[in-house]
Structure formats: C-alpha cells, structure tokens
Amino acid sequence: MEFQKLEFENQTEKQMIQRSKHFLEMIKSRRTVRDFSEKNIPEGVIENAVKAAASAPSGANKQPWHFVTVKDPAVKKKIRVAAEKEEKEFYEHRAPDSWLEDLNQFKTDWHKPFLEQAPALIIVFRQSYTNLGSTKRKNYYVNESVGIACGFLLAALHNAGLVTLTHTPSPMGFLEKILNRPKNEKAFLLIPIGYPAENAKVPDLIKKPDNEVATVL
C-alpha cells in the first residue's frame, strides 16, 4: 500500500468553536420518528448519505458493510409482514418483563406500519468475512466498524433534512432471504427514512447530564 500526503485544512479557534457548536445543535435536534409522510425523497440524497457512511473507519480498512436501499412497495410489504411476525412472537413470548416495562413508556408494540409508510428503507448488513474466489478472508472489529458507519449514516440523513428510525427486529434473518444477500452478510440494522408525518409526535426524553456521560482527566 502506498501512502499519500494528508489533505487537512486548519481552522482558527473561532471557526472550530463555531463549527462544533453548529454540529452539536444540529445533531441534538435528531429524533427517532415512527410516523412518516409518504413524500418522496429527492434523488441523490440517500445515495450521498450512504457514501458518507461508507467513508467510515473500519478494522484494517476491511469496510465490512453493505447498504441495501428499498423503495419498492412490494418489497417493503414483505419486510413488514416478516418483521411483524417476529415482533409479535417477541412481544408475546420471548421478551422479558423488564424489557416490556421499559418499552411501555414509548407505547410500541409488534405493529410496524412505518415499514411501509416510509418512502425508503436502508438495511445495513455486516460482513463477517470477505469472499476471495474459493477462499474466505476474516474481517476484523466488524460490529464496531459497522456501528460507526451507521452513526455516520444517521448523522448524514439528519443533516440532509430527513428523519429516521433505528429498528432491530429479532431475529433479522428474514432480511437476508427477502433481499437475497450472500452467506457472509447478516442484517445489522433496519432504518426507515423519510419526512415526518404532519401529526408526528415524539417522546419528551430527558438525556443524561454531561457529568454522567463524560469524564475529563
């Protein structure tokens, strides 16, 4: 591997403070939304967000991810039916009482209409290994790498003016089947994307204070 000179633009202290404040305010306004408008997303927005996500750092630069965007109503319908089947089983038989108590404040249940209402879904897949012809090459720090990429993706979509929901039906194996993904890929995150419905509401959340989430030594 060859190395190249780093392209880096120095900022003044004032610029750094302004930019950090701007990003903080922008990202703090991001909320998880479950009520979507059917308004279409402009061409190129999702593509740019995915490219931003794919620029994330990864273990040994293996880039162990694949992003599938679904806009086809028929495919979204299949995903909803399969997800609701798993979620119904989870809510009624597998979920521990403590988990259901924590979920109760958000008034969620096994019904997932947003999987069809949102104009697009992005399903993020993790690749535990890479196929090199007849051989397999292990990928490193896969969950960490894909998690960082998902953070990039959510920030990019929010910055573009869209709302999202991070959905993790359990188990998610049906996504690999419906979307015909190879054996080295496992679903990591299902993200409905779009605009909020006119009457969309979100919980009045209280975030932890700064001294509980960060320590400076």
For 146-168, the pLDDT digits (tens) are: 999 999 999 999 999 999 999 99
Burial letters 197-214, b for 16+ CB under 10 A, else e: beeeeeeeeeeeeeeeee
Task: Indicate the burial class of 65 (C-beta count within 10 angstroms; 0-12, 13-18, 19 or more).
Answer: buried
Is the confidence at residue 119, as pLDDT, over 90?
Answer: yes
Residue 162 has φ and ψ, to the nearest 5°, of -110, 160
Provide the CATH topology of domain 31-197.
NADH Oxidase (3.40.109)
> Which of the four pLDDT bands, split at 50, 70 and 90, describes residue 196?
very high
Domain boundaries, the chain: 31-197
Q: Let me know: does 179 contact 127? Beta carbons within 8 Å.
A: no
SS3 77: helix
Average pLDDT of the chain is 95
pTM (2 decimals)?
A: 0.95
Q: Taking the CA of residue 30 as centre, how many other CA atoms within 13 Å lie in the half-sphere pointing to its CB?
A: 21
The pLDDT tens digits for 59-84 are 999 999 999 999 999 999 999 999 99
Residues 6+ apart with CB under 8 A from 114: 34, 35, 36, 165, 167, 192
Task: Name the pairing type of β-strands 129-132 and 163-164.
Answer: unpaired
- Predicted confidence at residue 169, as pLDDT, reads 85
d(CA 49, CA 55): 10
